[in-house]
Chains A and B, each alone.
Chain A
Amino acid sequence: MKFLAALTRIRHMLRKEFIQTLRDPRTRFLLIGPPLIQMLVFGYAATLDVKNVTLAVLDLDNTQESRELVGHFSGSRYFHLQKYVERREDLREGIDRGGFLVALEIDSGFARRLRNGQGATVQVLVDCANSNTGLVALGYLNQIGAQFARDYQLDLAQRVAPQIAFSMPRVDLETRPWFNEGLESRWYFVPAVIGNVTMIMVMMLTAFAVVREREIGTLEQIMVTPIRRWEFIVGKTVPFFLIGCFDAGIIALVGTLWFEVPFRGELGVLALGLVVFIFAALGIGLLLSTISSTQQQAMITSMFFIMPMITLSGFATPIPSMPPFFQKLTFINPMRYIMVVLRSVYLKGVGLDILWPQIAALAAFAVVLLGFSVLRFHKSLE
């Protein structure tokens, strides 16, 4: 009997929440608009591709060899030959202006030194103000240089000793990128964005909803009704749980249909992972609401946490490259686990047999965070 009464009260509370959230068209838009926009912006902007790096060449040698070297660069898909310049100052100024990222300076005597077997040096300037692009460009540079060297030596051997050149040993490395043959940056980021957006939405909506009642004083009114505290918490969180699931579903659809990221795993595993993750996000939102008395406070505090959570989740930079201390820190970040689940389900198509540790970790977070925030919430209502 008591339980039935509780259920009725929760139902009323839920009804109030739904009316409140869905009443205003502006709030209704808030449930769908921002997550969709975030998904699109993240999806389009988040790319670490480094293709068509702009290149400028100062060729003071102007021989067949030097042109061949430049040809190796412009022929690759990595570099885009922007222009030839005539003077050294133009190189400096172009990099200052940001006209191009890499400048090649071939000194006169390049071909002569090659023919003499002395080996030639080429000056390269790389604009590393954006260090990822610079780093990748440097990698390409060495690759192209090594290819040029190999071709040149093969050429030489054929000219000097054609009878044995064919038996010159050649070691190749075939590279096979699995799961993402075209090395599409978008395939890597879009699944992860589902986690980012879901976390931001669920955490902020939950925190705001509770703090708002406190701020405008309606929390006290609710507390004088016969509703119990745990019933209030259930009534408050269930709508946001449902909204979170709805939002996660929509953005996952956008990721799959609009951005055409392949979905290779099982829908059930994805759903399970996201549901557990949404519980954890609810817990964080509720926790924030217990330590904030105004919405402004809730906002600032949630921004304070969201940025490091995204940074230390492996979203944009791989965790193994982080310093050891930060690697340890990532273990207490629920975002870390959902990133693995999302990317693995989408691209690798692996199932629960491999992902259970991640999902178990998320479940542990959900239990601890929700439990702790409910306890704190009880206190903050007293």
Chain B
Amino acid sequence: MNLRRVLAMARKEVIQIRRDPRSLMVIFAMPIFQLFIFGYGVNLDIKHIPLCVYDRDGTQTSQDLLKQFQATEYFDITQVVESYRDLVRNIDHGTCRVAVVVPPRFTEHLNSDGKASAQALLDASDSNTANIGMGYALGIALAYAARVQVDWQQRQGLPPSVPVVTFQSRTWFNEDLESMANIVPGVVALVMAVVGAFLTSLTIAREWERGTMEQLISTPVSKLEIEIGKLVPYFFIGITDTALCAWAAVRWFDVPFRGSWTVMFGCSVLFLIVVLSLGYLISVVAKSQLAASQAALLTTFLPAFLLSGFIFPIDQMPTVVQWITRVLPARYYVAILRNVFLKGTPVRLMTGDVTALALIAAISITLATRAFQKRLG
């Protein structure tokens, strides 16, 4: 291997990248833009669910119950309807996601039989909001029920009861339950996948498509020199992007950073090696930019987006899909990033993830180096 030829190759690549300043700008703007969108736009804390109420009882008690819903930030009463048809129409239109119906003679039942029930109708076409909304609604109803019980006990002269069990919950690692802190590791992985795999896979596929690969093959440069020369510039772009992303997250978006920067950058280098070699491998096999971009989308972007545990928790996926995530580098990388950002976990507890990532990096770089043949056709 000749260092001069590697440098010449890298220089050619750098010139080519610099000729397209817009792409370069997009690449560096992307992490900040994504952080902004994901951090502020994605809000997994579901609040202000539009609620529709239908009070068929129309008494002080029923109004009292409905007031409990209004008092929380979880629900916003947007509609008060007078008929069942209006209620259905509102749910169909999506103007409200939950409807609470107090049946006729609710108060009467409560006073005579001691038992009364209201209904919560949930638009479960959005199952997550319905699930969380159901939890909120049940919580509100149970709190109301407890109050009614206590009132009754006092009237009956029984010993007044105090709340039986209180949970003192401490949420760890993300005390304010902010989605932002949770999203950053995923955004870093996503941006790296895009930069690493998409850019590199297209750069070689382009040489094939335009025929400049033949020219390259006719020069004395060896295949290893081509690989290193091609990848090094993108490696630096990727590392700069990661640093930019982490810096913006900590400085602008106030995401905590509790672990070690060495671990974070060490693992980022490993992940970058994986995506770069994957991109290289793809471009060698695909030979057309369209095919290369689709392959990069399927092998790096989708896993980083969907199968890394970034938005969708891995332990809720079907078992087979969980196995598949084990061979995907994004999963380990996101887990490590989450640890260093939020938990500050000592390295000894992450050896499994780091080893897996290193192993995948070694395998993919070997595959990439072997795949390229300095040959036409």
State whether A120 touches B165 (Cβ < 8 A): yes
| Contact among B44, B91, B145, B162 for A150, CB-based, below 8 A | B145
Q: Which residues of B contact A323 (CB under 8 A)?
A: 40-41, 43
Stretch at the interface among B176-184, B266-274, B367-375: B176-184
Chain A residue, CB-CB nearest to B96: A320
State whether A120 touches B164 (Cβ < 8 A): yes
The distance from the CB of A287 to the nearest CB of chain B, in whole angstroms, is 15
**Residue B293 lies at the interface, judged by CB distance under 8 Å to chain A:** yes
Alpha-carbon gap, A311 to B40, bound state (A): 11
**Residue B316 lies at the interface, judged by CB distance under 8 Å to chain A:** yes
Total B residues in contact with A, Cβ cutoff 8 Å: 125
Q: Chain B 305-335, CB within 8 Å of chain A: the 1/0 string?
A: 0110101110111100100000000000001
State whether B149 touches A176 (Cβ < 8 A): no
Q: Which residues of B contact A304 (CB under 8 A)?
A: 26, 30, 33
| A176 in contact with B114 given A128-B177, A131-B44, A145-B167 (CB within 8 Å) | no
Stretch at the interface among B121-129, B218-226, B240-248, B354-362: B121-129
In B144-182, which residues have CB < 8 Å from any A CB? Answer: 144-146, 148-149, 152-153, 156, 158-159, 161-175, 177-179, 181-182
Stretch at the interface among A136-144, A240-248, A277-285: A136-144
State whether B289 touches A295 (Cβ < 8 A): yes
**Residue A256 lies at the interface, judged by CB distance under 8 Å to chain B:** no
In A118-158, which residues have CB < 8 Å from any B CB? Answer: 118-136, 138-143, 145-150, 152-153, 156-157
State whether B316 touches A50 (Cβ < 8 A): yes
Alpha-carbon gap, A41 to B320, bound state (A): 11
**Residue B138 lies at the interface, judged by CB distance under 8 Å to chain A:** yes
Alpha-carbon gap, A238 to B224, bound state (A): 44
Alpha-carbon gap, A128 to B179, bound state (A): 10
Q: Which residues of A contact B182 (CB under 8 A)?
A: 128-131
Q: Chain B 124-140, CB within 8 Å of chain A: the 1/0 string?
A: 11111111101111110
Chain B residue, CB-CB nearest to A124: B169
**Residue A169 lies at the interface, judged by CB distance under 8 Å to chain B:** yes
DSSP majority for the A interface? helix
State whether B30 touches A45 (Cβ < 8 A): no
**Residue B366 lies at the interface, judged by CB distance under 8 Å to chain A:** no
Chain A residue, CB-CB nearest to B302: A41
| Contact among A153, A208, A329 for B161, CB-based, below 8 A | A153
The distance from the CB of A60 to the nearest CB of chain B, in whole angstroms, is 15
**Residue A220 lies at the interface, judged by CB distance under 8 Å to chain B:** no
Q: Which residues of A contact B33 (CB under 8 A)?
A: 304, 308
**Residue A117 lies at the interface, judged by CB distance under 8 Å to chain B:** yes
State whether A135 touches B177 (Cβ < 8 A): yes
**Residue B110 lies at the interface, judged by CB distance under 8 Å to chain A:** yes
**Residue A194 lies at the interface, judged by CB distance under 8 Å to chain B:** no
State whether B179 touches A30 (Cβ < 8 A): no
**Residue A97 lies at the interface, judged by CB distance under 8 Å to chain B:** yes
Q: Chain B 180-206, CB within 8 Å of chain A: the 1/0 string?
A: 011000000010001000110011001
Q: Which residues of A contact B169 (CB under 8 A)?
A: 124-126, 138, 141
Chain B residue, CB-CB nearest to A209: B290
**Residue B11 lies at the interface, judged by CB distance under 8 Å to chain A:** no
State whether B177 touches A131 (Cβ < 8 A): yes
**Residue B14 lies at the interface, judged by CB distance under 8 Å to chain A:** no
Chain A residue, CB-CB nearest to B138: A143
| A134 in contact with B174 given A143-B138, A168-B149 (CB within 8 Å) | yes
| A303 in contact with B48 given A27-B291, A95-B172, A168-B114 (CB within 8 Å) | no
Alpha-carbon gap, A312 to B41, bound state (A): 7
Give the 8 A-B residue pairs with the shortest CB-CB distance, closest first. Answer: A139-B135, A177-B124, A173-B141, A146-B142, A180-B124, A149-B164, A172-B117, A347-B125
- Which residue numbers of A lie inside 8 Å of B, CB to CB? 26-27, 30, 33-34, 37-38, 41-42, 44-52, 54, 69, 93, 95-98, 114, 117-136, 138-143, 145-150, 152-153, 156-157, 160-161, 164, 166-181, 183-185, 187-188, 200, 204-205, 208, 212, 215-216, 294-297, 299-301, 303-304, 307-308, 311-312, 316-318, 320-323, 325-326, 329, 340, 343-344, 346-348, 350, 354
10 contacts between A and B (CB under 8 A): A41-B298, A93-B349, A119-B162, A128-B172, A168-B153, A176-B120, A178-B91, A180-B127, A188-B125, A312-B41
